[in-house]
Every structure is written in structure tokens, then in C-alpha cells.
């Protein structure tokens, strides 16, 4: 079988809808929505994306631009930079109220969910670990003073706002953000990608399910395609093509691979990064 392309998937979906009044322009929409249905069912390995951005000194909040297109400043409500602990003029008697500001957004195309983050000074050669999530914003606001400054230790994402703690970065740190992102179908009918090449049936079934349900108003037909996609009409992900994706996704992303390597002595060679634990197997056992 030749490598499946977007045109291959589109031809099959078109053939199933050829005897209906399904509009041509809805064909592309059905494939776009079919991909979204699949990606709503999980964070799959082909959705792993990364981006870099630079913090602004004493700025705690960064609206995220997820469209990938240029956008203007966004209004936020935060404590002003004049309250930073590094400002010697701040006294205990100073009123400390949030104020409206216009800030430039950071570009995080197609953002769905955050994975991890590292941070460093612009001149540093090594990254420092940065916590992402793990606690609520309400708890973080209680843990950090409103005028705390320093290198970013924690990143939280609330809707489309990324917030850093301590709330006043003392330098224009560089953040390396790892995230899950929504993906799009190829632009050309002759192109392919991981989803289309490895799981073309999944995109076919999900596209037809959306078309039968939203455009043709044929819920029985939509249920048939959902069953092929997800195992049960109302529980996508229990079986079907989604289950195949989930099994392969586990193999691609698992972090607990075990490697049994014979040890010949204390002077064995090892990598600098010890991501595995050495295990010696012998006949004496534990005593």
C-alpha cells in the first residue's frame, strides 16, 4: 500500500458522501473537525510542541497568543513593578493594589496543555528546572508575597494567561516551554503526517462521524462511525481506532523502559546522565 496522504483520506470521505447533498466546502471542515475529535481524546505523541520566550523584568503575567498570528497588547490586572522587593523606596506603609496594564502576549501556537518548563538567564549555558502546575493559583498566591522577586521557580497557566512565581522576575530570563498543541491537517492533498500515515482510518471515521452528525443530521449513521472510531458511540476512546492510537502512544512515550546490562566491575563506563538504575543479578541474593 502506498503511503496515505491527505488526498487519500479525503477521497474516501468524499466517496461515502458522494450520494448526498454534502457541500464541497464542508469536506475540508469535516476533516479538520475529525482531527480535533481525535486530539480531544488524549495528548498524543505527535502533539508534543515546544517554544521559547523571554520574560520581562518585574512582569508576572504573560497572555498567550495561541493563533500563531500577530496580535496587539492585552490588558491585564497585576501589581505594578514599583512594588518589587528590589525597589528600596517601597515601605510597609505603601498602598499595594493591582493596576491595569497593557502587555505584549507570548506566542504559543495551538496551545492545549503544558508539559514542562526550564528557565535560565540569557547568558547561562545550562537550564534550571522550573515547576509547572502541581498547585492551584490560589495556593501559589498565598505561598509567594506580592513583591517577591528572583529567578522563576513556578509557572502556572490559567485559561490563556501564563503566570510566573516569584511574581517579579529580577532578570529577563529565557523560558523553554514544552507543551501539547492542537495540530492541523497538511495544506496539500499530496502531503501526509504521523496521524494520516499511521492511523488513516481514525481520521476517516472521525470525519464521517462529524459530517453525518453536524451536516447530514443522521445520528444513526454518526453512531456507526463513532463506534468504529472509539468502540462505543458515546464513549470515544474505549475501543476502536482510538484504542490502537492509545496503545501505540504508550509505547512511544513510556518512561519506564528496563535495560538489563551485565556488570563487569566497579570501573564500568556509564553515561553522564543516569536515567536508569543499575541492577546486579547474581546467585547469592539478599542476606
The string of pLDDT tens digits covering residues 90-102 is 666 677 788 898 9
State residue 22's pLDDT score: 74
The string of pLDDT tens digits covering residues 271-282 is 444 445 555 555
State residue 208's pLDDT score: 95
State residue 274's pLDDT score: 47
Q: Taking residues 125-144, what's their average pLDDT?
A: 92
Main-chain dihedrals φ then ψ at residue 18, nearest 5 degrees: -65, -30
pTM equals 0.81
Nearest to 211 by CA among 30, 14, 9: 30
Residue that has been written with the C-alpha cell 537550564 in this structure: 127
The string of pLDDT tens digits covering residues 179-197 is 999 999 999 999 999 999 9
State residue 281's pLDDT score: 54
Length of the chain in terms of residues written: 287
Q: Give percent of the chain with pLDDT exceeding 90.
A: 60
How many other CB atoms are there within 10 angstroms of residue 221's CB atom?
Answer: 16
What is the torsion angle, in degrees rounded to the nearest 10, for the CA atoms of residue 83, residue 173, residue 122 and residue 128?
130
Contacts of 6 (CB under 8 A, 6+ apart): 31, 185, 186, 188, 189, 190, 191, 192, 196
Does 82 or 121 have the greater pLDDT score? 121
Query: From CA 21, how far away is CA 216, in angstroms rounded?
Result: 8
- Are the C-beta atoms of 182 and 188 separated by less than 8 Å? no
The string of pLDDT tens digits covering residues 40-49 is 999 999 999 9
State residue 286's pLDDT score: 47
State residue 287's pLDDT score: 43
CA distances from 182 to 42, 55, 67, 114 (A): 11, 24, 11, 12
Q: Taking residues 109-127, what's their average pLDDT?
A: 95
State residue 277's pLDDT score: 52
C-alpha cell at 7: 488526498
State the number of CA atoms in the 13 A half-sphere of 233 facing the CB: 8
SS3 breakdown of the chain: % helix, strand, coil, rounded to 5? 30, 20, 50
Query: From CA 257, how far away is CA 280, in angstroms rounded?
Result: 17
- Are the C-beta atoms of 32 and 110 separated by less than 8 Å? no
Is the confidence at residue 237, as pLDDT, over 80? no
C-alpha cell at 87: 525597589
Worst-scoring range by mean pLDDT, 17-21, 131-135, 261-265?
A: 261-265
Is the confidence at residue 69, as pLDDT, over 60? yes
Query: From CA 17, how far away is CA 109, in angstroms rounded?
Result: 33
How many other CB atoms are there within 10 angstroms of residue 226's CB atom?
Answer: 25
State residue 257's pLDDT score: 55
Q: Taking residues 76-85, what's their average pLDDT?
A: 80
Longest dimension (CA), the chain: 77
Mean pLDDT of the chain: 85
Domain ranges of the chain: 6-45+186-253, 56-172
DSSP state of 110: T
CA distances from 136 to 41, 139, 143, 167, 281 (A): 24, 5, 11, 15, 44
The confidence band for 110, taking pLDDT boundaries of 50, 70 and 90, is very high
Amino acid at each position: 500500500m502506498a503511503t496515505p496522504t491527505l488526498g487519500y483520506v479525503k477521497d474516501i470521505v468524499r466517496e461515502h458522501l458522494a450520494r448526498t447533498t454534502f457541500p464541497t466546502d464542508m469536506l475540508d471542515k469535516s476533516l479538520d473537525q475529525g482531527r480535533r475529535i481525535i486530539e480531544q481524546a488524549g495528548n498524543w505523541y505527535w502533539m508534543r510542541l515546544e517554544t521559547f520566550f523571554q520574560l520581562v523584568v518585574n512582569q508576572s503575567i504573560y497572555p498567550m497568543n495561541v493563533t500563531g498570528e500577530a496580535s496587539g497588547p492585552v490588558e491585564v490586572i497585576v501589581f505594578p513593578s514599583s512594588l518589587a522587593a528590589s525597589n528600596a523606596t517601597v515601605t510597609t506603609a505603601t498602598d499595594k493594589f493591582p493596576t491595569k496594564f497593557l502587555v505584549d502576549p507570548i506566542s504559543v501556537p495551538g496551545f492545549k496543555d503544558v508539559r514542562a518548563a526550564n528557565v535560565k538567564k540569557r547568558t547561562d549555558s545550562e537550564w534550571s528546572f522550573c515547576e509547572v502546575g502541581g498547585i492551584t493559583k490560589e495556593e501559589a498566591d498565598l505561598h509567594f508575597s506580592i513583591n517577591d522577586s528572583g529567578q522563576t521557580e513556578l509557572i502556572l497557566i490559567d485559561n490563556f494567561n501564563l503566570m510566573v512565581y516569584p511574581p517579579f522576575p529580577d532578570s529577563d530570563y529565557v523560558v523553554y516551554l514544552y507543551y501539547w498543541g492542537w495540530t492541523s491537517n497538511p495544506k496539500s492533498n499530496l502531503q501526509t503526517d504521523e496521524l494520516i500515515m499511521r492511523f488513516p482510518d481514525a481520521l476517516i471515521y472521525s470525519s464521517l462521524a462529524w459530517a453525518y452528525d453536524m451536516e447530514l443530521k443522521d445520528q444513526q449513521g454518526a453512531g456507526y462511525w463513532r463506534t468504529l472510531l472509539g468502540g462505543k458511540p458515546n464513549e470515544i476512546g474505549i475501543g476502536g481506532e482510538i484504542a490502537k492510537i492509545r496503545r501505540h502512544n504508550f509505547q512511544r512515550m513510556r518512561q519506564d523502559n528496563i535495560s538489563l546490562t551485565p556488570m563487569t566491575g566497579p570501573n564500568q563506563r556509564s553515561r553522564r546522565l543516569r536515567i536508569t538504575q543499575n541492577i546486579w543479578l547474581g546467585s547469592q541474593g539478599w542476606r
